[in-house]
Amino acid sequence: MALFDKLRAELVDIVEWIDDSQHTLVWRFPRYRNQIKYGAQLIVRPGQSAVFVHQGRIADVFGPGHYRLETKNLPVLSTLMGWMHGFDSPFKAEIYFVSTRQLTDLKWGTSNPVPLRDPDFGSVRIRAFGTYTLRAIDPGRLLSELVGTDGVYEAEEVSALLRSIISMAFADVVASSGISVLDLAENYAELSETLRREVVQRIDDEYGLEIPQLYIVNVSVPAEVERALDARASMNAIGDMNAFQAYQLGNAMPEAAANPAGGLAGAGVGLGMGLAMTNAMGGIVGGNAGGSAGPASPTTPAGPPPVPTVAWHIAEGGESVGPFTPAQLAQAIASGRVGRDTLVWRAGMNEWAGAAEVEDLAGFFAPQPPPIPGA
């Protein structure tokens, strides 16, 4: 096998890299004992550079083109090896092809939440992710700082390092921007460009890499913060809470009427609670309308008088029991304590009557079918 490789090295005199990958940054040309035939043809395609390395030192760098490897085209390597004009023997050198085109569809993201002091919500934690492109602009520096002696160096091998650098730069950029979490989305374009320049400044001189494009695709907050934001948006959308309660009560009344057995009982309870809450809120608003807890101004008109509460009495064991509010009486009917024939009375009635016979309470009881003829 070694003899076959040696013979092939002597016969093949074309040095080239047909790049069929999408994320390869550096590829080392394989040759038996690193012997390159003097006078061989070097083909460097667009988007590539060829770097000659001799005894651990970077010698010559070739851009796109077609070259014949001889003394006049290898000035640095010829000096290192001490060639004389006309030297016609194989020479030892490692040839690395470096991709100088943009490598696309590379992704970045924050592995841990980034704490941020938000002007609206205080201290919050955010996550972000996006995409970027990568390109080698200094093949020599890339080889010496990252690649070393690897035969193939993929973009994924440097992506972990780049993700860390991008995450650190993202935290600095967002913190210094002073933009609220709610306004980040409309500033993605500006923040993306600022972040790209910050990352390029950190990797250009050190690793010989460039990021031509970098985009922030999404910035998110924890689930509990999202729920708080949704609740805040809902409250802003509702606006007048009293009007919203009246609207809900109006929608609930037809549904309650369609279900006399339990719906009206629940509606009665809800109505009582709603009135109590409305009165309480009205008292708070009325008492603090001027920003103080002092007595109301004489010029301030008094609120509407309270709605009189109907007091019901029921007959139990031959005695009058009560009084009951409408909500309490509705609960008694729903629980079965008050039936169709239970005698009830309130102010304004001439005498006691069965609950189902009272117009105000008839809706609580389902109508009874008439007797079957001839039964």
The answer for residues whose C-beta is within 8 angstroms of residue 340's C-beta and 6 or more apart is 354, 355, 356, 365, 368
Residues of the chain with CATH 3.30.479.30: 103-226
Q: Where in the chain is the domain with CATH 3.30.1490?
A: 240-277+310-367
Taken in order 31, 33, 34, 39, the sign of the CA dihedral is negative
Neighbours of 316 (CB within 10 A): 13
The fold of 240-277+310-367 is Dna Ligase; domain 1 (3.30.1490)
Tell me what pLDDT residue 274 has. 52
Give which of 222, 214, 219 is closest to 107, Cα–Cα. Answer: 214
At 111, list the tokens.
Answer: 């592995």
Q: Is the full-model pTM beyond 0.85?
A: no
| Helix, strand, or coil (residue 107) | strand
Amino acid occupying residue 61: V
What averages of pLDDT result for each successive group of 10 residues across the chain (375 residues)? 48 76 84 72 90 83 88 68 53 85 88 82 86 89 80 82 90 86 87 92 84 91 75 68 65 57 49 51 47 48 60 85 83 83 86 85 76 73
CATH for the 103-226 domain, from 3.90.470.20, 3.30.420.40, 3.30.479.30, 3.40.50.80: 3.30.479.30
Query: What three-state secondary structure class fits 27?
Result: strand
Count the helix, strand and coil residues of the chain and give each as a percent rounded to the nearest 5: 40, 25, 35
Name residues whose C-beta falls within 8 Å of residue 219's C-beta, 6 or more positions apart in sequence: 126, 127, 128, 174, 181, 184, 185, 188
Q: Which residues, 6 or more positions from 301, have their beta carbon under 8 angstroms from its beta carbon? A: none
Instruction: Check the CA dihedral 48-49-54-55 and report its sign.
Output: negative
- Look up residue 291 and give its DSSP letter: S
Query: Strand (E) positions, the chain?
Result: 14-15, 24-28, 35-36, 41-44, 48-54, 57-62, 65-68, 91-92, 94-99, 103-109, 114-118, 122-136, 152-154, 209-210, 214-220, 312-316, 319-324, 343-346, 353-354
